[in-house]
Amino acid sequence: MRGVVSAPQPLAVEAGADVLRRGGNAVDAALACAFMQGVVDPQMCGLGGGGVMLVHDALQGKTIELAFYAPAPLAATADMFQQLIVERVRWGGWRLRNRENEIGYRSICVPTFVKAADVAARRFGTRPWADLLAPAIEVAAAGAPVYHHVHDRWLRPTAGFADSIERHAATPAAERLYMTGGRMLATGERMPTDDLARTLRRLAEHGARDFYEGEIARAIVADMQRHGGLISETDLRECAATERSPLWGRYRDLRIAAPAPPGGGLALLLALALLEPWVTSATRHNGIDHAHRVAECLKLGLAVWKARSGDPHFVTEDPAALLRPAFVDGLRSLISDESALTMAEVGARLVPDSRDTTQVCVIDEQGNAVAMTHTLGLGSGVVTDGLGFMYNNAMMLFDPNPGQPNSIAPGRMRQHATASSLAFSGDAPVLAIGAPGGHGIISGVAQTISNLVDFDMSPVEAVSAPRLHCEGDTIEMEARFLRAVAQGLQARGHPVNHSVYSYDYTSGRPHLARRSRDGAQLDGAADPRGGGMAVVV
């Protein structure tokens, strides 16, 4: 076996698997997969986005985090949106007049994906740069098909945010790419992605530097200047993909590396640490007691992460201190089996998030491992004529009020609920896992890890089992939870939203690659909520 690749897009998984077959390693496969994701799932990720990648280099025995979150432009100011606030929306987010933080040129943060791909390929890859882009170029040149899960997400509303028609009509180039006759393209139709193919060919020929200092950069900056965007030549030239140490925690006998702030590793590791002593061999999976405890642990993990972490250049509290036993035990003491803990009791200030991003997980035969989350947020609706890709709208996910852990500042990265994680038995990686899904990433990944470890589920069972999400006071439960469980939770004081969807998006869509502890077997799984697959090569 050469390796295993898992992601929400079949064509992207195929691209990564083909790289493994040709002798590439886990990083090569992950990058080929990621470039393809930007072609076939263009609102989730792409050249206009950012994210985070965890990499384990088996030869060096080293695990690193490559953080490439899209920073606010240098022209951004803390109060730039404060006078435009209309109302708070779901999860405590903010809607502004004219949706300036969500749609259009002022919603865009500096795209960092291409820079990160270049750094990862140079540091850890083995294949030529052009080879990693070739599969994406081929599909883009033919016109990328609209897959069912892409169309489904276009049509599912995200409460408090613009619908797809409003978003994609924001610029003529976006409308031409994704709409026809005033409607979104239908499943099976092809997006006219020839401009994107040309951009990818230019990157393959001239390298990533062209995106930040060359012809592509000049086209980006000229478009921003014409339309009131904030991104400058300096923003593109100086943005970075930063290699650093991940945040470390444990679950049972596994050591887990997860994204440091502003990523969501703190929320994930806290939720797992809180949950660990409360799941035993006698626990009934998704029974009332189990669901109550999972919800409370998620609620507290997310609350602490939101209130006490952020861009480490601006929020200096040590996240490792918040994972120490004394702090975790103090949090756990707030939880009662008799009644729900309310957010008023912990003083949580919620922040907005989208349900959109995407994931790549790869482990190869040498024991190299990658878990990468990359994103556009919900997408800004902005496409530069001739370039063919959409920019992120990461400004949407800052707090428009100054003085908060997630407030706007020049060069600042907003909070991201990324939970791309690597789990180790001893020094060897046995799991690469992560998810799309906004703050639901945390709940999905935490429950999937527990399903694997505590309930001995297979990877497919672990990602497919019914899940809940709890952020704030309300528990969001899929339709497959028994009504008796929902009623039991309500009796303990939980507001419950029992979904009409059997496979809902509220708890993220985890994907994973797994390696047996002896290294002899590889397998993986793709969440059925996401439309993807896992392939062992």
The 10s digit of each residue's pLDDT in 522-536 is 999 999 998 899 999
How much is the pLDDT for 346? 57
Quickly state the pLDDT bin for 154 (edges 50, 70, 90): confident
At CA 316, angle to CA 232 and CA 111, rounded to 5? 25
Residues 364-407 pLDDT 10s: 999 999 999 999 988 999 999 999 999 999 998 888 999 988 89
Write the pLDDT tens digit of every residue in 53-65. Answer: 999 999 999 999 9
pLDDT given for residue 348 in this prediction: 47
Q: Whose structure tokens read 């690469």?
A: 432
Residue 288 has which token pair?
């009332």
Average pLDDT over residues 450-472: 97
Task: State the residue for tokens 């540091």.
Answer: 123
Helix (H) or strand (E) holding 313: none
For residues 19-29, average pLDDT: 98
Instruction: Tell me what the pLDDT averaged over the chain comes to.
Output: 94
pLDDT of residue 124: 97
Catalytic residue among 112, 357, 375, 448, which?
Answer: 357
**What pLDDT does residue 159 have?**
67
What angle do helix axes 194-206 and 26-40 make, rounded to 10 degrees? 150
Segment 150-162 shows an average pLDDT of: 79
Q: Is the pLDDT of residue 139 over 60?
A: yes
pLDDT of residue 342: 86
Q: What is the predicted pLDDT for the residue at 356?
A: 67
- Closest by CA position to 450, among listed 438, 468, 473, 436: 468
Instruction: Give DSSP secondary structure letters for 442-505.
Output: HHHHHHHHHHHHHS---HHHHHHS--EEESSSPEEE-TTS-HHHHHHHHHTT--EEE-S-SS-S
- pLDDT above 80 (res 353): no
Question: Cβ–Cβ contacts within 10 Å for residue 231, how many?
Answer: 25
CA dist., res. 415 & res. 94, Å (int): 15
Contact status, residue 71 vs residue 413, Cβ threshold 8 Å? yes
Q: State the DSSP string of 49-64.
A: -EEEEEEEETTTTEEE
Segment 35-42 shows an average pLDDT of: 97
For residue 91, what pLDDT is reported?
Answer: 52
Q: Which domains does the chain have, with CATH numbers?
A: 3-49+69-241+358-397 (no CATH), 262-353+432-536 (3.60.20.40)
Q: For residue 160, what are the CA distances in angstroms to 29, 77, 338?
A: 37, 24, 33
Q: Round to whole Å and give the CA distance between 513 and 430.
A: 8
Task: Give the range among 48-52, 100-104, 365-369, 477-481 with minimum mean pLDDT.
Answer: 100-104
pLDDT at 90: 62
Evaluate if residue 502 carries a pLDDT over 80.
yes
d(CA 451, CA 437): 19
Share of the chain above pLDDT 70, in %: 96
pTM: 0.95
pLDDT at 118 over 50: yes
Q: For this structure, is 357 an active site residue?
A: yes
320 pLDDT higher than 60? yes
What's the distance, CA 159 to chain centroid? 19
pLDDT digits (tens, 9 = 90+) for 246-259: 999 999 999 999 99
Asked if 503 contacts 529 with a C-beta cutoff of 8 angstroms, the reply is yes
Residue 94: band (very low, low, confident or very high) from pLDDT cuts 50, 70, 90: confident
**Nearest residue to 65 via CA among 362, 268, 265:** 265
* E-only strand ranges, 299-427: 358-364, 369-375, 421-425
Mean pLDDT throughout 106-119?
98
Interval 414-436 mean pLDDT: 96
CA distances from 457 to 435, 447, 516 (A): 18, 11, 14
Cα separation, 135 vs 266, in Å, equals 35
* Single-letter code of the amino acid located at 36: M
Structure confidence at residue 312 (pLDDT): 94
